[in-house]
């Protein structure tokens, strides 16, 4: 077992902005070790009064859209404005794909070597529930350490978008211009979640096409219903090479913040997110306890193929498994 | 406690097409009584070899789109073609809204009085997990009773669409023509799920507008990615008053069936659905057991407001609750 500090050591370190202790604290909340659970809970609870004072921004988009490049350029602009920026990631598939775990670190060179920034890859070897729980708590730790903009990147393709949407204040979807089929590859549900669409790589030969794409997206968005929080999803252009549009993206986020704080949505949304987080974690821990049960595991392995083939009724097996779990464990 | 038959009585009755025993069997699988669980499981398991031989069609759309009228007209057309049609519904909110529980029965007069049809309202007083579990098992019972087309209607607005999508072979979204804002009120994720869009009430003064809406939808759909099962979502027109387009809807469903059976998607989709159903039910039963635990209930009531206000870390409470549940229960 790795060496752990006392909760007070972590707490003091984090509140004084000690990056090494912040990193170690995040490792603690990411830990799957039974023995770390109590300490991690205590630590997060202790810094809670110092959390919450950041703008939490989720950033998503298909692979190839340039999420890391955007975060690098956008983050650097924020640093130059005097902000302290933390970058977190949610990548439930990282264990298998090993996608951008190391990649991000090296690609975001400017950010990860800058003292005012903090770049942390996604916890690895975890399911979505584990990753998103750890990232949410890491976000609180970063806030307590004084970071005032948290960028949360979705890395995996799949359900991580919903998980990230549920932990941020503002959700940004990066897109590319294309030949009329701009929405190719984007799950329609994702567009619905976005507070802003940013057409990325709007530079050079791409610029004209990006402007057209912007108009197309705006039309498409008008077809859809409003979200009920009096905010119409905006479409913007940006280039991480030229820096074009990055300030407009930030201005829009600030406009959103001001509007949502004045109409009460900002705080009520965070309250709802906390309750959702509670439910998610309960569900995740219940599922984990279920899957760890050796008797359950054995029956599931044995009977799952029979459910798949249609021989055994899923509801019947579910009831049996639950009975088995609670009979004498 | 109500009188129950032996599993053999139910089974024989269902297989011989006895509608009274089919109804009573459905009541049994809908029952929340602890004492009914074993019998219900045994019954569903026993008829399993006789299930699966229907086309399962999910039908959704916003309130006012005319779902019941469509099902009545579409169902009658199928009866006239010699099909046996069962209509089920998933309405997790039925206890509160009492929406169309009775309404449907009376509105679908033609179907509910026809011996070749079977109309069953949504089980009431249940959460989504309970409703969809019961509806899935009712579907199997109806198939064993010889019904070869099962229409599953989403009644509540909300998550029931996903639940229904996950239990059917073909998912149909009813829409209305409108003044350019056709998608108003439709969650974007729903369109993604649909195998066909049917512009309903395409008659009289509405007809021209419906034709335009069809073109608009087709354009919008082309913007989106394909689902990977080599099927492009189709847009059709239909009127339940004139009967216009109903046969085309059925032809399209048959075309889909033929295609998906030959490329293997039909069966593989059902296998995936069975495994999802198993997971859903496990999650539902775990959640139910959790919520019924008196100690958990007490702590949750006490601490939930502190999570909501941001005083207490959601992850910390979740861990405490799970410990409490499994410590000595």
Interface of A with B in 290-309 (CB under 8 A): 290, 304, 307-309
With tokens 């990548």, the residue in question is A91
**Could you give the angle at the alpha carbon of A81 between the alpha carbons of A76 and A86, nearest 5°?**
50
| pLDDT value at A290 more than 70 | yes
**A139 near A22, Cβ under 8 Å?**
no
Q: What dotted CATH number matches A1-50?
A: 1.20.5.170
Nearest residue of chain A to residue B52 (CA atoms): A310
For an interface test with B, which of A165, A176, A274 has the most B Cβ atoms less than 10 Å from its Cβ?
Answer: A274
Partner-chain residue, chosen from B52, B223, B308, that has the shortest CB–CB distance to A274: B308
Q: Do B220 and A220 touch (CB under 8 A)?
A: yes
| 3 state SS of B281 | helix
Strands (E), A123-221: 149-154, 170-175, 196-199
Q: Do A310 and B48 touch (CB under 8 A)?
A: yes
Partner-chain residue, chosen from B37, B44, B181, that has the shortest CB–CB distance to A313: B44
Residue A95 has a pLDDT of 45
Interface of A with B in 202-221 (CB under 8 A): 216, 220
Residue B101 has a pLDDT of 43
Partner-chain residue, chosen from A191, A307, A315, that has the shortest CB–CB distance to B44: A315
- Residues shown for chain A: 329
Q: What would the pLDDT profile of B87-142 be if each residue is shown by its tens digit?
A: 998 877 644 444 444 444 556 778 888 888 999 988 876 777 778 889 999 999 99
Q: Is B133 exposed, middle or buried (0-12, 13-18, 19+ CB in 10 A)?
A: buried
Q: What would the pLDDT profile of A115-171 be if each residue is shown by its tens digit?
A: 889 999 888 767 777 788 899 999 999 999 999 999 999 875 567 888 899 999 999
Q: Is B179 exposed, middle or buried (0-12, 13-18, 19+ CB in 10 A)?
A: exposed
For an interface test with B, which of A318, A320, A325 has the most B Cβ atoms less than 10 Å from its Cβ?
Answer: A318
**Cβ of B318 under 8 Å from any chain A Cβ?**
yes
Spatial separation of the C-alpha atoms in residues A103 and A86, rounded to whole Å: 17
The two domains A1-50 and A51-263 share their CATH topology (first three levels equal) = no
Spatial separation of the C-alpha atoms in residues B284 and B304, rounded to whole Å: 21
Q: Do A290 and B286 touch (CB under 8 A)?
A: yes
Rounded to 10°, the helix B34-47/A314-327 angle is 140
Question: Looking at beta carbons, which residues of chain A come within 8 Å of B271?
Answer: 308-310
H helices of A203-293, in order, are 207-223, 246-262, 265-292
Spatial separation of the C-alpha atoms in residues A288 and A129, rounded to whole Å: 10
Spatial separation of the C-alpha atoms in residues A135 and A141, rounded to whole Å: 10
H helices of chain B, in order, are 7-15, 19-30, 34-47, 67-80, 94-97, 101-107, 109-112, 128-144, 160-165, 188-193, 206-223, 246-262, 265-292, 294-309, 314-327
Spatial separation of the C-alpha atoms in residues A102 and A105, rounded to whole Å: 5
Partner-chain residue, chosen from A284, A310, A313, that has the shortest CB–CB distance to B41: A313
Question: Looking at beta carbons, which residues of chain A come within 8 Å of B48?
Answer: 310-313
Nearest residue of chain A to residue B133 (CA atoms): A315
pTM for the whole thing?
0.77
Partner-chain residue, chosen from B140, B281, B316, that has the shortest CB–CB distance to A318: B281
The domains of chain B are located at 1-50, 51-262, 293-327
Interface of B with A in 71-130 (CB under 8 A): none
Which class is domain B51-262?
alpha beta
Residue A153 has a pLDDT of 92
- The alpha carbon of residue B185 is apart from the nearest alpha carbon of chain A, in Å, by 5
Q: Which residue has the higher pLDDT, A273 or A66?
A: A273
Which class is domain A51-263?
alpha beta
- The alpha carbon of residue B144 is apart from the nearest alpha carbon of chain A, in Å, by 14
Residue B271 has a pLDDT of 96
Query: Which portions of chain B are predicted below pLDDT 50?
Result: 94-104, 179-182, 329
Nearest residue of chain A to residue B134 (CA atoms): A315
Q: Compute the count of residue pairs across chains A and B with CB atoms less than 8 Å apart.
A: 173
Q: What would the pLDDT profile of A178-229 be if each residue is shown by its tens digit?
A: 644 445 556 666 777 899 999 999 999 889 989 988 988 887 777 665 566 7
Partner-chain residue, chosen from A37, A184, A186, that has the shortest CB–CB distance to B319: A37
Return the percentage of chain A with pLDDT > 90, whole number. 61
Residue B88 has a pLDDT of 94
Question: Looking at beta carbons, which residues of chain A come within 8 Å of B278?
Answer: 304, 307, 314, 317-318
Residue A187 has a pLDDT of 62
**A15 near A145, Cβ under 8 Å?**
yes
Partner-chain residue, chosen from A191, A277, A315, that has the shortest CB–CB distance to B188: A191
Q: Do B310 and A281 touch (CB under 8 A)?
A: no
Q: Is A157 exposed, middle or buried (0-12, 13-18, 19+ CB in 10 A)?
A: middle
Q: Do B188 and A186 touch (CB under 8 A)?
A: no
Q: Do B225 and A192 touch (CB under 8 A)?
A: no
Interface of A with B in 35-54 (CB under 8 A): 37, 41-42, 44-45, 48, 52
Q: What is the mean pLDDT of chain A?
A: 87
> Quick one: three-class SS letters along A23-34?
HHHHHHHHCCCH
């Amino acid at each position: 077992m790795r060496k752990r500090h006392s909760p007070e050591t972590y707490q003091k370190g984090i509140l004084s902005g000690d990056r090494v202790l912040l990193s170690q604290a995040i490792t603690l909340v990411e830990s799957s070790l039974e023995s770390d659970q109590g300490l991690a809970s205590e630590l997060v609870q202790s810094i809670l009064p110092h959390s919450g004072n950041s703008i939490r921004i989720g950033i998503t988009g298909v692979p190839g859209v340039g999420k890391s490049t955007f975060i690098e350029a956008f983050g650097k602009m924020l640093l130059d404005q005097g902000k302290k920026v933390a970058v977190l990631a949610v990548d439930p598939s990282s264990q298998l794909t090993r996608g951008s775990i190391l990649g991000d670190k090296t690609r975001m060179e400017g950010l990860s070597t800058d003292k005012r920034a903090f770049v942390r890859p996604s916890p690895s070897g975890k399911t979505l529930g584990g990753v998103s729980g750890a990232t949410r708590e890491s976000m609180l730790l970063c806030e307590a350490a004084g970071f005032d903009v948290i960028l949360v990147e979705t890395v995996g393709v799949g359900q991580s978008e919903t998980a990230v949407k549920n932990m941020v204040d503002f959700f940004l979807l990066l897109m590319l211009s294309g030949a009329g089929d701009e929405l190719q590859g984007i799950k329609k549900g994702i567009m619905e979640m976005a507070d802003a669409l940013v057409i990325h790589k709007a530079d050079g030969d791409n610029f004209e096409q990006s402007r057209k794409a912007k108009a197309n997206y705006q039309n498409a968005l008008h077809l859809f219903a409003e979200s009920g929080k009096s905010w119409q999803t905006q479409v913007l252009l940006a280039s991480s090479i030229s820096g074009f549009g990055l300030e407009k993206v930030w201005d829009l986020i600030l406009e959103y913040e001001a509007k949502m704080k004045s109409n009460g949505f900002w705080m009520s949304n965070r309250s709802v997110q906390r309750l959702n987080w509670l439910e998610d974690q309960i569900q995740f821990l219940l599922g984990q306890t279920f899957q760890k049960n050796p008797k359950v595991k054995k029956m599931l392995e044995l009977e799952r193929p029979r459910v798949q083939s249609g021989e055994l009724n899923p509801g019947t097996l579910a009831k049996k498994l639950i009975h088995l779990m609670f009979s004498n464990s």
